[in-house]
Chain A
Amino acid sequence: MLTARVIPCLDVNSGRVVKGVRFQGLRDAGDPVELSMSYERQGADELVMLDVSATPEGRGNALVTVAAVRQELGIPLTVGGGVRKAADAGALLEAGADKVAANTAAVTRPELLTEIADHFGSQCAIVAIDAARKAEGDGWEVVTLSGKNRTGMDAIGWAREAVERGAGEILLTSWDRDGTRSGYDTDLLQAVSDSVHVPVIASGGAAKPEHLIEALQSGADAVLAASIFHDGDYTVGDIKRVMAAAGIPTRLDLTADTP
């Protein structure tokens, strides 16, 4: 049967992996190719690379980074950041991405998802949704521009619309939890995964294996994490052994398991 995926996330700025809380205060976390290969050896099921470069020069570097990672990496690679039109997605796919994630630009112009799906297939079109609990009332709203903009748009409604427009998968980040190490927002995960038929990747808040298991038991099909891997707290293999012991279908035929 299909196994739950563990997905390390690399935030890349001008060709280097960086990390920071809520995308602020970025610190260097290593070379993208070396880190990617290390995670594949540890048993990562996929990788996500988010280009957080703020400048056009940095964005140009992202394509070079994707191509360099692709030469070595033998597992799927999703790339996001700065995807504003189908041609941006095409350039990333040509460089070696297998899937492309659109975030702010898809909120601003939802047709973008349809364009990517029409050109490259829904299996390439990932919508990244950053969601935060509404200040008033129940539910979550979509936030964009790295959290600077609270849209007021209902996150569940946007997830449904994104899928109708062609998104084949949802990368769902809890803005309240991201970088806090307090666990995924399992209520948000349950609400979104109950509302759509496509796979949902949980993101934001992971600090220990139990957090990833909670997310998978709350409807997520895959779990994404960054700092717990970059900081060396756990290897991917460490996490997957705990998952398997908890009865979660897990791919454990790891060829090597060292950082």
Chain B
Amino acid sequence: MRPASEAELSETIRGAGGPLRVVGGGTRGPGNLPGVALETGGLAGVRLYEPGALTLVAGAGTPLAEVEALLAGERQRLAFEVPDLRQLLGREGVSTLGGVAAANAGGPRRVQAGAARDSLIGLRFVDGAGHVVKNGGRVMKNVTGYDLVKLLAGSHGTLGVITEVSLKLQAMPEAETTLIAEGLDDATALTRLRAALGTPYDVSGAAHIGGRTLLRIEGLEGSVAYRAGALRSVLGGDWVLASRAESAALWRQVRDVAPFAGAAGAIWRLVVRPSAAAGIVAALPGARAVYDWGGGLIWLLTEARADVRAAVAGHGHAMLIRPLPGMTVPVFPAEAPAVAALSRGLRAKFDPRGILNAGVMG
């Protein structure tokens, strides 16, 4: 089903006789779900773009690439650097804004600019009973009523089908430089990254990938040059600089977890206390890691079929984003009982029949 309007979508949901599987572009959402596909592609189009106010409003089915091209024309962008996980997950299709919001996507710049939730300033959605709801708006500062925007961001389609999003934008920086160190072991590399994030030099990327340690700085030309120099002297060791295009290519590799695309094994996404990252990976023999967010995000590739969560306990949480065939480990970590009760309660309110992406989040 592919409703052409929000009203039609509402009717579709009201009339649904069983589970629905919400599909944006099918590039990052959960696979293998039961139910009839409900596509948002009919709800596409940019409805408002004010470069002088750094604001964009668009239908949920609008392709991400179309928005990125439009923004690039004004030298603007989405701050949160959306990962393209198609290679990693073996998907095809075209990522949509609604899917980006529902997954609360966020790339390397999260250390500086947050994830989708931090740029989302408003949305409209249709809940599991067919009610059309709006929340937030098109202004950057808004505390009018509860922030359902945050609740829907990262709800993976389980509370409602997002139909429209409002986003805060960012100007593209004039310059970008990456500092690169080679051959550091994980623990040393991550210590350096954390030290860099603790300086006033406004690091916008801090990753350790394939034996290279990367730090990104963006901004005005003179400022970038100044901060790159300052970081090198603070951190010590050998750092070489990568220019703009070369730098951008490096961060696409980090963003899209390029080293693991096509590699065999289960892939986990661990969000942890950065200082615990090296120890967590060391405790999982045979696992390969790509570290982002100064160690706060670990992409883990392992041939083991077991749950890695014991190694993460107390330091954060882990999501199984690409299981091996036949693995029975839950995708999402279990919530504490009182938290799970709240999540269950909210799902029962927003989707009383339990038909939207049923069971996706456990």
Q: Please indicate whether A and B come from the same complex rather than being unrelated chains.
A: no
Q: Which residues of A contact B (CB under 8 A)?
A: none
